[in-house]
Copies of this chain bind each other. A is one copy, B any other.
């Protein structure tokens, strides 16, 4: 029988009642003839509670124990989901990560799945079982210890199972009904996309759209897993939600598919840096060591052997960045006149695979912002993305104006 993977996030399994609702969705797919692999998260709030215990116990915790502790929430949901399906007369059983086994590397707290042997579950499907409920987010290391895949890791579990079992599709049930052209809380005209390309979803995920874990999208792209994002709180048809798929399957033909934003950015400028070969490494090496996530980088044209270097990072890393740079200056590794932090900026990004073939997207974006009187502080581009830093107070206005300018409210 064809296999379908269905993943339910924390809010979709927050109570026994909600688990029942999710199980009914599973039952619908079983009735259609699918053998289903269900991946479950912990009940909403459980993982945070466990992480809280760990932090209270040991601020610099042993990640192996952290994993053993925080993985337990998913085990509870998996068992409850299996029981609920059994109550509905759907033959089901639960699997914990080590029972499959979901083999990962030993990078505790952010492990990578290396192999999912399909034998155990396939054998049970052969015996008449219709649903395998698997605890998401967890695996087992070569040393036989429990690992976890990082926050949101159940998405990755789901995609990895879909790839391993050659599933027809991987449905991610969540608390939103799909991927939107932008955040509906900011732009009321935001429209749900029927389809979005893997590459676009990847950019949106890494830009902070919380719909899918970035790594799950990478994995889906690599193994060509058809990924669907849809709401567990609405009646669903086969066309519901947003399908994340290959570029070729995206019907719409528009330069921009979505507008993303990131509120808490900071722009830092090293004024009048002595310009010499290796200066970038001398600046960004210490920042990386200090754990500063540098995003956009701009180097102005050098004059008389000196240059200005600007970069952006999350606003809560500014103190750390300042310390790292001042330490490097004190140690004589770099030389600059001043270090200026602008902590009132936001990042706005336009994302779309259509940019590759359509010119004028950047120009249109800059003109739109200019028409609204919004000054652009930093620009960075990739093949399918244009990002700008602007004053934070214009963030909502910029998102709305760009959404209008690219007519995202209209289906392509």
Contact = CB atoms under 8 A, between A and B. Distances in A.
Interface of A: 16, 19-20, 50, 53-54, 56-58, 61-62, 64-66, 68-69, 71-73, 75-76, 78-80, 82-84, 86-87, 93-94, 96, 98-99, 144-146
10 contacts: A19-B57, A57-B80, A58-B83, A58-B87, A61-B83, A62-B83, A68-B78, A69-B76, A72-B73, A99-B145
A144 B99 contact: yes
Contact of A53 (B16, B73, B145): B16
**CB-based closest 3 A-B pairs:** A69-B79, A58-B83, A72-B72
The complex is assembled from copies of this chain, and their number is 2
Contacts of A82: 62, 65, 68
B75 A69 contact: yes
A54 B83 contact: yes
B64 A93 contact: yes
B93 A57 contact: no
A54, A69, A84, A99 — which one has the most chain B CB atoms within 10 A of its CB? A69
A99 B140 CA distance: 11
A81 to B, nearest CB: 9
Contact of A65 (B16, B62, B68, B83): B83
Contacts of A53: 16, 76, 80
Contacts of A93: 62, 64-65
A16 B94 CA distance: 30
Contact of A68 (B16, B68, B79, B86): B79
A62 B86 CA distance: 8
A210 B99 CA distance: 35
A91 to B, nearest CB: 11
Contact of A57 (B62, B68, B87): B87
Contacts of A73: 72
Contacts of A94: 65, 68
A80 B96 contact: no
Contact of A80 (B54, B75, B79, B80): B54
